[in-house]
Chain A
Amino acid sequence: MKIVVDFDACMSNAQCMRAAPSVFEVRDDGFLYILQEEPPESLRAAVEEAARLCPTQAITIEDGGAK
């Protein structure tokens, strides 16, 4: 699983960080940082939740698996 964020769409709303804090971090500069671009399968549910809650649909999960 590979995380792709469309940084033009990302509004730094930090909803992804609530769902998957070990993958997404919004820092005090106001920008989103991806902590793991290829998180382990064990984080799939959390990452899918992050993608679902992202208000601007900025997160895509690439390769296999459900969306």
Chain B
Amino acid sequence: MRSVVIVGASLAGVSAAKSLRKHGFTGSISVVGDEPHPPYQRPPLSKQFLAGTWDRPRVDLRMPDTLGVEWMLGARAASLDAYRRDVVLADGRRLPFEGLVIATGARARRPRWYAERAGAFMLRTLDDAIAIRDHVRAGARRFAIVGAGFIGSEVAATLSALGCDVTLIDIEPVPMLRVLGEPIARVCLRAHEAHGVRCELGVAVEGLTGTSSAQGVRLADGHVIDADGVVVGAGATPNVEWLDGSGIVLDDGVACDATGAARGIDRAVAAGDVARLDHPYYGSHRVEHWNNAITQADAAARTLLGGAVPHVAIPFFWSDQYDSKLQLVGLPSPTDTIRVVEGSLDAPRFVALYERDGVATAAFFFNSMHRVAAYTATIEAAAREATPAAAP
């Protein structure tokens, strides 16, 4: 193979380029990305960058000078001609490839009631974060945050630390309920309340108020939350539209086997938020976390170079909210039982295990980073054991 085209110039795409070089690929690599900025890190956008403690250069994704790739930034892939093996750009240019890496990630999901207007924001890109930051700098003080998932919760924490008056709204009765389960989600709720963030929970949002600019949100119970700014964190949607009709199998993301090979086409792989891999432990599964993009990109690079190995890394993510550091390792399900194994839910730090039939499926860490490595090994071993056939 002499040429690889990578579509998506963010974490998964850049990691794939690094891994291709690391595994000995000396051919040409072109990286196509529709954002105008050089690759950057998203996690600080809701944390240090929004807070103003990290400036623009700190957010850049670091890369060795020796990567040797051709950057095509500000260029959008419009379609894939799988027969001729060309990526077709929005301006009509065709990029022939032998190997293809699909790393187009995801975008913020747009609720039906959302409307583009001044003072209304979603948060996925650097430009989104700059817009919110500028709005605060221009004097906006009252914020309504819609969606108490990770991004919404982090934005609420960051804006309240900046002195803003924040209301956090979610249809569920506690923040982050679906990911963390009730007892642990309650710990997060307590943190918001302790920092003076008002929580409007268990209620749907019906729409934005205000005409030329957002003045708040209207709730389904008739209540109106007035605000100078509204930030919506309603999850993410994989960017796969450019692959419609290409023959690549799409199923809430790019359907891949366990090694990252995309189904429906030869010598094409996917990694990161856009990829739905057949995980040896968890089955068909799409993950929207930082480390996953790095490890999947490595598996994808090896697959493309002919040394296919299944991607077995277990999910890991972290979140920083107020002064607390949260981490989750593994894949809990809503019916798992939660057992606190160190500290207690009222303590400033604790570790909890999610268990199903007595087997640990995931571990949650609250200000307990020093325990992450040990419990990760436990969760990995349990997952491997529960899936004997898949053991690498």
A-to-B contact residues, CB < 8 Å: 9, 11-15, 17-18, 21, 25-28, 30, 52-53, 55-57, 66-67
Contact = CB atoms under 8 A, between A and B. Distances in A.
Nearest to B44: A56
B294 A52 contact: yes
Interface stretch (B56-64, B133-141, B233-241, B245-253): B56-64
Given A9-B58, A11-B320, A52-B18, 4 more contacts: A26-B369, A26-B373, A30-B369, A56-B41
Given A53-B291, A55-B43, A55-B291, A13 B327 contact: yes
Interface of B: 15, 18, 22, 41, 43, 58, 61-62, 64, 66, 290-291, 294-295, 298, 316, 318, 320, 325, 327, 367, 369-370, 372-373, 376-377
A57 B18 CA distance: 14
B183 to A, nearest CB: 23
Contact of B62 (A11, A27, A57): A57
Nearest 8 pairs of A and B residues by beta carbon:
A14-B372, A17-B373, A57-B62, A67-B64, A14-B369, A28-B370, A18-B373, A12-B369
B25 to A, nearest CB: 13
15 contacts: A11-B318, A11-B320, A11-B325, A13-B318, A13-B325, A13-B327, A13-B372, A14-B369, A18-B372, A18-B373, A26-B370, A30-B367, A30-B370, A55-B43, A55-B290
B144 to A, nearest CB: 28
Contacts of B18: 52
A15 B316 contact: yes
Contacts of A13: 318, 325, 327, 369, 372
Contacts of A52: 15, 18, 294, 298
Contacts of B373: 14, 17-18, 21, 26
A12 B290 contact: no
A34 to B, nearest CB: 15
